[in-house]
Amino acid sequence: MKYLSIDQCDAFYGDQKVLECVSLDVDKGDVVSLIGPSGSGKSTLLRVLVGLNQPTSGRILLEGEAIDYKNRRSLKKARERFAIVFQQYNLFQNMTVLKNVTVAPVKIQGRPKKEVEAEAVLLLEKVGLGEKLKSYPDELSGGQQQRVAIARSLALKPEILLLDEVTSALDPELVTEVLDTIRLLAKEGRTMIIVSHEMGFVLEVSSKIAFMDAGRIIEVGEPRKILEQPDTDRAREFMGKILRH
C-alpha cells in the first residue's frame, strides 16, 4: 500500500482543464519534486491535494484511504496531515509574524500557547527572522514573507509538507539557508512534495522527480535520470533550457 497516492486526477479552472489524468505515488519519507514549465499545473496539483481545487475525477489516497473532498470531516482529517507553503505566501495580513506562525497550532490544534510560541520563536530564528516577530507581513520583503510562510507550515508539524517554489523570492544567500532547512527536514524523514526550479537542489534532495507539462505528468522517475536523460523530447527541451541558465 502506498503512503500517498494520486490516482488519475483531473482538475479544471472553469472550462479549462488544468490537470489531466495525473497519477503519482509518494512513499513515506519521500521528497518528490515537481518540475516543468510555467502553467504546467504544478501549483494546481498541490492545491488539489489540500482540497482548494477539487479533482473532477480520479482519487487521492492517504494510506490506502481515499480522501473524500466533498465530505467536510474527511477533508478536515486530510488537511490535518498536510501543510502547504503557497507560491504567494498568503500570510494573514492582519497578524504579526509570530501570530501568523502560532495561530493555527494554538487555536486549531489546541496546543498550549506558551509551548507553541517558544517553538515558533525558534523556528523563526532558524529562518533568520528572530528580529521580526512583531512585524506585519506588509512590512516585510517577499523573501522574508516566504520564510514566515515556511515557519508557519513547520509549526503545524505536518506529516506531508507541500512547498511551492519556496525559494523563488529569496536572494542567493537565503536560498542556501532555506534549502538547508529543507535538507534537514528531508533527513529527518519528512515527506515532502516540492515545486522548484533549483535543479541542483532538486537533484540533491529529491528521491523522485515528476516532470509536468500542460497539465500532465509526462515523466516520473529517479532524479538523475529525469534531469540528465529524460525519455521525452519535451522534457529534454525543458532541461536544456533550464540547465543553460
Partner 1 sequence: MWERIAEELPRFFTYYNVIFFLKAMFTTFLLSLVGCLLGSVMGGVLAVIKITKSNLLRPLRIAAVVYVEFFRRIPFLVTLLLIFFVFQALGLEVSVFTVAVVSVWIIATAFIAEIVRSGLEAVPKTQWEAAEVLNFNLRQTLKMVILPQAWKVILPPAFSFFVLFIKDTALASQIGVVELTYSAKVLNNKGFSAALAFGFVLLLYYTISYPLTKFGTWMEKKIEIS
> Site residues (CB under 8 A) for partner 1?
50-52, 76, 79-80, 82-84, 86, 88, 90-94, 103-104, 107-108, 156
Question: Any residues with CB less than 8 A from the CB of 49 and at least 6 apart, and which?
Answer: 6, 60, 82, 84, 162, 193
Partner from Mg ion, ligand ATP, partner 1, none contacting 3, C-beta within 5 to 8 A by type: none
Binding site for ligand ATP (CB under 6 A): 13, 18, 38-44, 87
Give me the sheet containing 4-13, strands edge to edge.
Answer: 16-26, 4-13, 57-62, 65-66
Binding site for Mg ion (CB under 5 A): 43, 87
Can you tell me the distance from the alpha carbon of 19 to that of 45, in angstroms, rounded to the nearest whole number? 7
Strands 31-35 and 208-213: parallel
Q: Quick one: 86 or 201, whose CB is closer to partner 1?
A: 86
Shortest separation between residue 231's beta carbon and partner 1, angstroms: 35
Contacts 24+ apart (CB under 8 A), 242-245: 242/197, 242/199, 243/199
Partner from partner 1, ligand ATP, Mg ion, none contacting 18, C-beta within 5 to 8 A by type: ligand ATP
3-state secondary structure of 231: coil
Partner from ligand ATP, Mg ion, partner 1, none contacting 108, C-beta within 5 to 8 A by type: partner 1
Q: Quick one: 190 or 208, whose CB is closer to partner 1?
A: 190
Partner from Mg ion, ligand ATP, partner 1, none contacting 66, C-beta within 5 to 8 A by type: none
Shortest separation between residue 48's beta carbon and Mg ion, angstroms: 13
Packed helices 142-155 and 113-126: angle between N→C axes, nearest 10 degrees:
140
Shortest separation between residue 104's beta carbon and partner 1, angstroms: 4
Q: In the 8-state DSSP scheme, what is residue 108?
A: I
